[in-house]
A and B are shown apart, each in its own frame.
Chain A
Amino acid sequence: MRTLTGVGSTPRSGVGAARWYRSDADLTLPDRPDPESVDVDAELGRYEAARDDVREALRDARDRTAERVGEEEAAVFEAHESFLDDPTIVEDVEAAIREGMPAEHAVADRFDEAVSQFEGMEGRMAERADDLRDVRDRLLRALLDAEGDGPTGAADLGALPEGTILLAERLTPSDTAALDPDAVAGIATVEGGRTSHAAIIARSLAIPAVVGVGADLESVADGETVLVDGEAGEVVVDPDEERREAVREAGPEAIRERVETSDGRAVEVAANIGGEAELGAAADRGADGVGLFRTEFLFVDREAPPTEDEQYEAVTAALSAFDDPEDRVVVRTLDVGGDKPVPYLDLPDEPNPFLGRRGIRLSLDEHADLFETQLRALLRAAATDGGDGLAVMFPLVTRVEEVERAVDAVESVADVLASEGVDHAVPELGAMVETPAAAFLADALAERLDFLSVGTNDLAQYVMAADRGNDAVAEYHDPLHPAVLRALDRTTAAAAGTDAWVGMCGEMAGDPALTELLVGLGFDELSMSAVTVPDVKARVREVDADDARSLAADALACETRSEVLDTLGLDDRAA
């Protein structure tokens, strides 16, 4: 038994047979035979069969990705299919085969020529070179590896045998979304951090995952028995009986009722929702409502903004999925910016979109009209049965004036609805605390609002000045850096003197190893990917609020991340 450590990203474990995923698998061609000896008809048949296989795999990948991740990630597979069946390529490959070239050589030569046409160019043209390489590799894999016992490539991700532990250098979001959660017992990667997109998708699919293991992972061979423990952040090769028996694939049972600490402090445990399809799973896992309802899904992949009625329907659907009068549904108003383009919004092309026009900034100015439509839908939904549970929060707040203007906008929408005789109510209003500015101003924000909700991924990114999409600075993204913890404390302490409640809706909230710390910091609500709701609820019940407070005080006194880890008893946790 040997143990490797990384960053646990889904608090589940799984055991199975290791299988390396090599997107750039070595596709060495056999020596080219004498053209006279090539059976032209057989080679043409192999080429056609390979194209059929690849086309089917691309369509599967497209549909699966569209369903699980989104149309954007899925679109690339359509472009791949267009290259696969490109008539100029097909004609040239068939002509080369007729001259006595085996199918794999004809494919490799023609695609390499096409790749060189795009290679070395900038931007979108360079992406075409990647697309062509991907299609070439899929075709070569189908041609060279018909028995399917070679290295696992992109084409195989959706069809892995049950009990696979998938090992990879790194996984793209579409790689991860292609996985079948019933077949894949776990994932371990060399690169990546807890908030990398692949880690977040693995979590939403409830696949045990450990990312960022480092080069040590390369020592694991295909076929070895491997246990992935996403809670401890460990990859155990050849685990002993004791370790295997402790595997928790399913996680704890859902706890339907609300939970409190062992000494009676109530903590709401809610789910983050990115689309209506996720509401059922959140309710099944016992979430006490929705702590973050992202509305972006209503706006993307279409040619015009959603109507007021469409938005009203989506919000009332969420309210009826959580119809217990105590259950809140916190809707975040539109949060887009230059890094998440929406075509009809005509967003500016900015050199640094994370520091540009986004979130509430757009809603108050450039897109005040969309904001008004969204608020109309929300105020109408607040007046329906179950609408009492509705809360609305504004993203990327940095200034008190923004909150004042947003509240004014809500009031003027209420006046307009009243003058039109339309049923409406003003829901609870809150701000996201995801910038250092909002944390510094938490007292002023809390005085003007009903609640604050901390988005820890962005807060860590802005406090630590480290792009969360950049693996090279992954070690800076951990919310356990003292600077981030102190920003959290400042937020909860400032709100404690007001009537406002404070929640957290970042990835940190879903980590049961941090529940005691967060309770001790004074969070009233924790909202997370639905998969970890039962873990966190179970953990809340074990926590003693007084002990939690002293643990938080100890953590806040730390000056380095390693002292924080030491204090929390998480010494072996990677960044």
Chain B
Amino acid sequence: MERTVTVEPEAGLHARPASKLVQTANRFDADVSIGRADDGDDGLVRADSMLSVSGLNVEHGESVRVVAEGPDAEAALDAVCDLLTSPVEESVDDDAEDAP
């Protein structure tokens, strides 16, 4: 099964959103892959690999396709798409080192 969603996190699929996505994909008994919606099957990479996900260089607002297969495919797809469509950001400077 698969779904196409727009990437909401401001940082795109980099840094924290990317590692969260990888952690999520790893949690399920399913093979999850992800790619740019326009790139077809050739553009799909493993969603459980930080290297592959970072390598996509997907930015905020781009449309991505998520494909999941296996016993937990549906739950995995829900969790991954939730993450992609919530505007949770990389957290920001807590200002601890910012003196006036």
A residues engaging B (CB < 8 A)? 68-72, 75-76, 78-79, 81-83, 86-89, 114, 117-118, 121, 124-125, 127-128, 173, 195, 197, 200-201, 204, 272, 274-275, 292, 294, 296-297, 300-301, 303, 332, 340-344, 395, 432, 434, 455-458, 505-507
**CA A344 – CA B99 in complex, angstroms?**
23
Contact of B94 with A70 in the complex, beta carbons under 8 Å: yes
1/0 contact trace for B41-55 toward A, CB 8 Å? 000001011111011
For this complex, 16 residue pairs linking A to B, each with C-beta atoms less than 8 Å apart, are A70-B95, A70-B96, A72-B93, A72-B94, A75-B19, A79-B15, A86-B49, A88-B49, A117-B51, A118-B54, A121-B57, A201-B96, A274-B95, A274-B98, A395-B100, A455-B99
Indicate which residue in A114, A301, A395, A507 contacts B94 across the interface (CB closer than 8 Å). A301
Once bound together, how far apart are the Cα atoms of A359 and B38, in whole Å?
41
Contact with A along B67-100 (1 / 0, CB 8 A): 0000000000000000000111111111111111
User: Contacts A75-B90, A274-B96, A344-B87; is A82 near B14 (CB within 8 Å)?
Assistant: no
Contact of A300 among B48, B57, B91 (CB under 8 A): B91
Contacts of A114 in B (CB 8 A): 51
Question: Are A87 and B91 in touch, CB under 8 angstroms?
Answer: no
Check if B50 sits within 8 Å of A86, measured CB to CB.
yes
Q: Report the Cα distance A87→B48, complex, angstroms.
A: 7
- Closest chain B residue, CB of each to CB of A76: B15
In angstroms, Cα B45 to Cα A429, docked, is 56
B18 within 8 A of A: yes
- Assembled-state Cα–Cα distance A343/B54 (Å): 20
Q: Which 5 A-B pairs have the closest CB atoms?
A: A70-B94, A455-B100, A343-B89, A82-B50, A301-B91
Find out whether the CB atom of B16 lies under 8 angstroms from the CB atom of A83: no
Q: Per DSSP, are chain A's interface residues mostly helix, strand or loop, or mixed?
A: helix
- Give the number of chain B interface residues (Cβ < 8 Å): 35
| Centre residue among B49, B86, B96, B98 by max chain A CB count within 10 A | B96
CB distance A79 to B92 under 8 Å? Answer: no
With contacts A78-B16, A124-B15, A294-B98 known, is A300 near B55, CB below 8 A? no
Residues of B within 8 A of A (CB): 10-12, 14-16, 18-20, 22-23, 46, 48-52, 54-55, 57, 86-100
Chain A residues with Cβ below 8 Å from B96 are 68-70, 201, 204, 274-275, 297
Question: Which residue of B is nearest A295, CB measured?
Answer: B95
A200-B57 contact given A72-B90, A82-B50, CB 8 Å threshold:
no
CA distance A173 to B18 in the complex (A): 23
Q: Chain A's nearest CB lies how many Å from the CB of B33?
A: 12
Q: CB distance B92 to A274 under 8 Å?
A: no
Find chain B residues with CB under 8 A from A457 CB: 99-100
